[in-house]
Structure 1
Amino acid sequence: MQAFDLYAVLPELVLLLATCVLLVASVFVREKVKSVPGVEQDIFHTPRGVGFVYFFSLILLAYLFLAFIGRLSDVSLVAMNGLFQSDSLSNLLKACSCGAVFVSLIYSKQYLSDRALFRPDFIVLILLALLGQFVLISGANLLTLYLGLELMALPMYALVAMRHSSEKSVEAGIKYFILGALASGFLLYGMSMLYGVTGSLDLIEIFKTVADPRVNHLVMAFGLVFIVAGLAFKLGVVPFHMWVPDVYQGAPTAVTLMIAAAPKLAAFALLFRLLVNTLLPLMGDWQPMLVLLAILSLVVGNVTAIAQTNVKRMLAYSAIAQMGFVLLGMLSVFDDHAFSASMFYAITYVLTTLGTFGLLMVLSRKGYDCETLEGLKGLNKKHPWFAFIGLVMMFSLAGIPPTVGFAAKLGVLEALVDAEHTFLAIIAVIASLIGAFYYLRVVKVMYFDEPAHEHSVSGSGFAKGVLSLNAILVLAIGMVPATLMSICLDAMRRTLLGS
């Protein structure tokens, strides 16, 4: 191992070692538990070492975030004998993933504690899933990409089914596992066909071989179909979306947030690494498939969401439609502005998703989950600030100015028009107008309906402060999007030049 190899994978090594230490240390760390007279303490509500693991994890995530931010201007390099690449795109996406997990843990603490799920193993599984995202984002080899994907997915299967007393949670975990395994099989079979034709697992070597006109194009096309199908499963786009609503609804809200936020950044990286960095010479084959997936996702996701009364299920169909926009940004090949617009969309969608699910957890309490429209009725009369946060998040998801969702949608639409995909831009606008209906319905319920029950707010003051800052960022970046857009564009240009 050379010095630059160690430098490239140092954050991943730190995360891996720290996670293993936290898992072992949680067994030996004893914490003070306040005893209530006449109330028997439940060991599952106060597991050993959970506070230590929680606060140490936050410090670890903050360190990793700053470390990746400091690497944004580094030169692109391929390390570990071509298995791992460190470039501006990977460092930016990893920093955003760390920030998303950091905020998710803050939002989730009280929610998990009220449901006896705030345990060290929950946090350790989250960190292991984050490690998988790191490996996936920096994969420079088909083997690395697949290992990162599985390392990210396996802890998620366990997290979804962690509330074993709930039939919905267990059912969601089983569905997620079975369909996730099927998607992994599709992706692995497609990769094996690529390997059979090119004789290499290295992305750069595959790119060079695929560009050779003597390659068996029919086998490559079959392999590409399986790869795109596997990617579509992982992204949760139509017609491979059947797991998304059930998993979003069945999993605890804290776990739903972990699935809905940071993994979307890793999925974007996987899409970029495979289709742009590796299979760009086959764009005439995969472009039509992405167009079909994007249109179906925009239409089916937005139309089906209208009929939902469960907010988490509605947000699941919303996520399907939002991923359609991300796919649209990948259609303008040879255009770093389009790719950066797609990455900007993914990052800002994660920011909005954090605030949306954070609000649901703050409005939940012990014995009650705020998951339906009924639970949001009349929120403005009791908690006007949290109703305003909900309004900001819904406006951002709908793409209404001055929120960041408007800037993100506008960037993708501009890229489509510049690439002369005007018809797709029109479909995206119409689908957004349909989606605005169910987003504004949530605002109407919060502001104009009478309260269905007594609203209460849980969570620490710190969590409420972070939620407020989240809403302010959604507004601030929406009004001044140039800074983040330029960071995304610079990272994309550096990555494309480095490759």
Structure 2
Amino acid sequence: MIDKLSWVAAYPEILLLTMACVIALVDLAVKTPLRGVSYGLTLLTLGVIALLQGLAASTGETIYGFGGMIVSDPMGNWLKCFASIAMMVTFVYGRSYSGQRDMLRGGELFTLGMFALLGMFVMISSHHFLVIYLGLELLTLSSYALVALRRDDLKATEAAMKYFVLGALASGFLLYGLSMVYGATGSLNLTEVMLAIASGGDKLVGSPQVLMLGLVFVVAGLAFKLGVVPFHMWVPDVYHGAPTAITLMIGGAPKLAAFAIVIRLLAEGLQPLAVDWQQMLAVLAVMSLLVGNLAAIAQSNLKRMLAFSTIAQMGFMLLGLLAGVVQGDASNMANAYGSSMFYVVTYVLTTLGTFGVILLLSRSGFESDNINDLAGLNQRSPFYAGIMAICMFSLAGVPPLVGFYAKLAVLQALLASSTAFYVGLAVFAVVMSLIGAFYYLRVVKIMYFDAPTQTGGIDAGLDARSVLSINGALVLVLGIVPGGLMTLCAQAVAQMFA
């Protein structure tokens, strides 16, 4: 008999699954090219779920369900709230673009997008190895199909194949690592795994060597999902080859879910091994900052540049995870992991605005995905140029925008450790940010100082223009008053470890 708390813990996933099936059935009767009814139902569903998740998170309650396999806690609820909003915004930005490219003819975009979000929800709520893997596979399988949604586009098909092959390899890494951890600890539950490892070997049923090898494979699998070096090969190809609306769907909300399973697996389940996995994350972060920023400078395609930018940004986010446990002292966990959560939330917000401008500038037969396509944008539309400039400055870490405070929060978490190694990492990150500012500012220079290469009008619906205005305003406002969101993230993480 399933207890009442289990249903309470799982109601967002149940509601999302039910409505995804309802929308798929309703869409069979929709004949309009832009799928107005399906679109409206999807936005309404995601809006209601985001509101419910926000209300649940504000109570501060933690509920375990289905025998401890899932958890509903403030951190997870806030991440699900933000992921729902990010998916809503993605649909608003991408609807016109998708309609012009015949991607809405069957309604699969909305249904697959909701199933991808369901996978994210399961990942965020998971407290058990099998549930983590179930959510991960639901997200990735939906993503493969979304990338290949333009069946007659060779670039999209090629990107989907690359994504599928490398994604299957990464899933194998993660599954193999989890099976080794299970073999060493004798449990699939994150709390029991943590207690078994913390016992110092007394409760381990396998050898410590198997546990360490499993940890290596787990970190490798997680690194692929984050898209950090050297597991980044899929990111530029998929970002470039996928339709831009799908690129945003892959590069936005899923980063929140990837952050969640990193926290669940490493910071919660494998916390006693923090000294070991923090060393691995340090190497991944340094390589990602170096390769991501240097490779982005050489790109002429805007989506590939943003792909390498994502690699560097995720490397910066990993730095926050390094400072949670310092020389056995876990007192800095809430500050360090909260700064990483703040970083990933604000990064997704800025990414939505950036790709929103690219999507709204695109038209039938024209992708607007080269950097030179933005030449003279300020003369054509000061509104779009202003939003894009705000997002570029934020990604570069220019004050007073939110990207600056996100970077500052991570650097402060590193410096709070008061160790020479972490101070050195902070200095390295600042240098890499200065290098990265070049390719962001180049986009601003092209928009404001180069002659226009496009003369056509820019046509966008009222919904997209309104959401883009709010998106740009939030990047600015949250930079001026970041305290509320930073406190929210720190408290959510602290309650998870309470």
Q: Same fold, TM exceeding 0.5?
A: yes
1:222 alignment partner in structure 2:
213
Counterpart AA for 2:429: A
The answer to whether 1:264 aligns with 2:263 is: no
The equivalences for 1:37-436 within 5 A come to: 46=33, 50-72=35-57, 73-118=59-104, 119-214=106-201, 215=204, 216-333=207-324, 334=330, 335=332, 336-420=334-418, 421-436=422-437
Contact 2:184 2:208 in 1 (8 A): no
Q: Please give the alpha-carbon distance, in whole angstroms, between the structure 2 residues aligned to 1:361 and 1:63.
A: 26
Q: Please give the alpha-carbon distance, in whole angstroms, between the structure 2 residues aligned to 1:357 and 1:453.
A: 19
State the 1:455 CA deviation.
Answer: 4.3
Q: Please give the alpha-carbon distance, in whole angstroms, between the structure 2 residues aligned to 1:364 and 1:458.
A: 9
Q: Name structure 2 gaps, 5 residues minimum.
A: 325-329
State the 1:77 CA deviation.
Answer: 1.7
Counterpart AA for 1:260: G
Q: Please give the alpha-carbon distance, in whole angstroms, between the structure 2 residues aligned to 1:260 and 1:11.
A: 23
Percent of aligned pairs with the same residue? Answer: 50
Counterpart AA for 1:325: F
Counterpart AA for 1:69: G
Contact 2:74 2:492 in 1 (8 A): yes
How many corresponding residue pairs? 481
Q: Please give the alpha-carbon distance, in whole angstroms, between the structure 1 residues aligned to 2:60 and 2:386.
A: 40
Contact 1:265 1:347 in 2 (8 A): yes
1:155-210 per-position Cα deviation (integer Å, ceiling 9, x unaligned): 00001011121111100000000000000000000000011111110111100111
Q: Please give the alpha-carbon distance, in whole angstroms, between the structure 2 residues aligned to 1:317 and 1:2.
A: 46
State the 1:283 CA deviation.
Answer: 1.2
Where 2:71 maps in the other structure, the secondary structure is: strand
State the 1:459 CA deviation.
Answer: 2.2
1:42-62 per-position Cα deviation (integer Å, ceiling 9, x unaligned): xxxx38xx3221100100000
State the 1:213 CA deviation.
Answer: 2.0
Q: Please give the alpha-carbon distance, in whole angstroms, between the structure 2 residues aligned to 1:160 and 1:495.
A: 34
State the 1:25 CA deviation.
Answer: 2.0
State the 1:30 CA deviation.
Answer: 4.1
1:26 alignment partner in structure 2:
27
Q: Please give the alpha-carbon distance, in whole angstroms, between the structure 1 residues aligned to 2:394 and 2:457.
A: 25
1:464 alignment partner in structure 2:
465
State the 1:3 CA deviation.
Answer: 1.1
1:4 alignment partner in structure 2:
5
CA change 1:114–1:428 in 2 (3 A) is same
Where 1:438 maps in the other structure, the secondary structure is: helix
Counterpart AA for 1:471: G
1:39 alignment partner in structure 2:
none
Q: Please give the alpha-carbon distance, in whole angstroms, between the structure 1 residues aligned to 2:41 and 2:350.
A: 26
Q: Please give the alpha-carbon distance, in whole angstroms, between the structure 1 residues aligned to 2:454 and 2:111.
A: 36
Counterpart AA for 2:55: G
Q: Please give the alpha-carbon distance, in whole angstroms, between the structure 1 residues aligned to 2:282 and 2:92.
A: 38
Counterpart AA for 1:425: A
Q: Please give the alpha-carbon distance, in whole angstroms, between the structure 2 residues aligned to 1:338 and 1:285.
A: 17
Where 2:322 maps in the other structure, the secondary structure is: coil
Where 1:245 maps in the other structure, the secondary structure is: helix
Counterpart AA for 1:373: I
Contact 2:30 2:37 in 1 (8 A): no
Contact 1:111 1:459 in 2 (8 A): no
Q: Please give the alpha-carbon distance, in whole angstroms, between the structure 2 residues aligned to 1:195 and 1:13.
A: 28
CA change 1:195–1:30 in 2 (3 A) is closer
Where 1:171 maps in the other structure, the secondary structure is: helix
Counterpart AA for 1:87: D
Contact 1:110 1:458 in 2 (8 A): no
1:352-378 per-position Cα deviation (integer Å, ceiling 9, x unaligned): 000000000111111101100121000
For normalisation by structure 2, the TM-score amounts to 0.95
Counterpart AA for 1:19: A
Where 1:369 maps in the other structure, the secondary structure is: coil
| Worse-matched range after superposition: 53-62 or 68-77 | 68-77
Q: Please give the alpha-carbon distance, in whole angstroms, between the structure 1 residues aligned to 2:300 and 2:336.
A: 35
State the 1:384 CA deviation.
Answer: 1.1
Contact 1:397 1:405 in 2 (8 A): yes
Q: Please give the alpha-carbon distance, in whole angstroms, between the structure 1 residues aligned to 2:349 and 2:408.
A: 17
1:302-354 per-position Cα deviation (integer Å, ceiling 9, x unaligned): 00000000000000000000000111010112221111000000000000000
Counterpart AA for 2:162: K
Contact 1:380 1:387 in 2 (8 A): yes
Counterpart AA for 2:116: A
Contact 1:79 1:85 in 2 (8 A): yes
State the 1:456 CA deviation.
Answer: 2.9
1:91-148 per-position Cα deviation (integer Å, ceiling 9, x unaligned): 0000000000011100011111111112411110000000000000010100000001
For normalisation by structure 1, the TM-score amounts to 0.95
CA change 1:30–1:301 in 2 (3 A) is closer
Q: Please give the alpha-carbon distance, in whole angstroms, between the structure 2 residues aligned to 1:74 and 1:343.
A: 17
RMSD: 1.0
1:10-51 per-position Cα deviation (integer Å, ceiling 9, x unaligned): 111011011111112221x244x5xxxxxxxxxxxx38xx32
Where 2:352 maps in the other structure, the secondary structure is: helix
Where 1:78 maps in the other structure, the secondary structure is: strand
